[in-house]
Amino acid sequence: MSTSLTALNSNDRDTFTAALGHLFEHSPWVAEETWSRRPFASAEALHAALCTTMRAAPPERQLALIRAHPDLAGRLAQQKKLTAESTREQASAGLDQLTDAELAAFTRQNDAYKAKFGFPFIICARLNAKSAILDAMQARSTNPPDTEFATALGEIEKIARLRLLDVLGTANQP
């Protein structure tokens, strides 16, 4: 369901959070804590404020946000228990149409990544195809933990931006 920036700027905290709480996977606190900075002059300003809230959170809260994301092509996807947004995003990358060999490769990469970093691999699936995602999983697995933590937050910002554009009904505009 789309809404306008004008409507979001006039919403009370609960309505604002209900409209935007899903932008950051299972972490409505980002929208709730950003509400007080209204009004926002543009979608870009709103996105920047949301990202500032996320970045200002303590590392433990950021880690919880990262861990709230599902594995790509993982168990929850196989059981059809992803959020509607994650389901659409993973499908856009072709992750809902994997061969058995591709699924096994994703499972191996997901497991190795989580064992090393303690959180799931995060990439903006809507901006990548399944082969690029697998390549990125392998390449990024050599990163130091701090680099990967920062990269995950950056990818979450990309995901939130696209979800915000969906809410505003501007996802197909430049």
Return the active site residues.
Answer: 69
Going by C-alpha positions, the residue among 157, 148, 71, 72 that lies closest to residue 117 is: 148
- The pair of structure tokens assigned to 127 is 């901006």
* C-alpha–C-alpha distance, residues 165 and 173, integer Å: 9
CA 18 distance to own-chain centroid: 17
Contact 16, 23 (CB under 8 A): no
Q: What is the largest CA-CA distance in the chain?
A: 50
- 43: amino acid identity, one letter: A
Please report, in angstroms and rounded to a whole number, the separation of the first and last CA atoms in the chain.
20
Token digits of residue 142: 């050599």
CA–CA gap between residue 15 and residue 47 (Å, rounded): 17
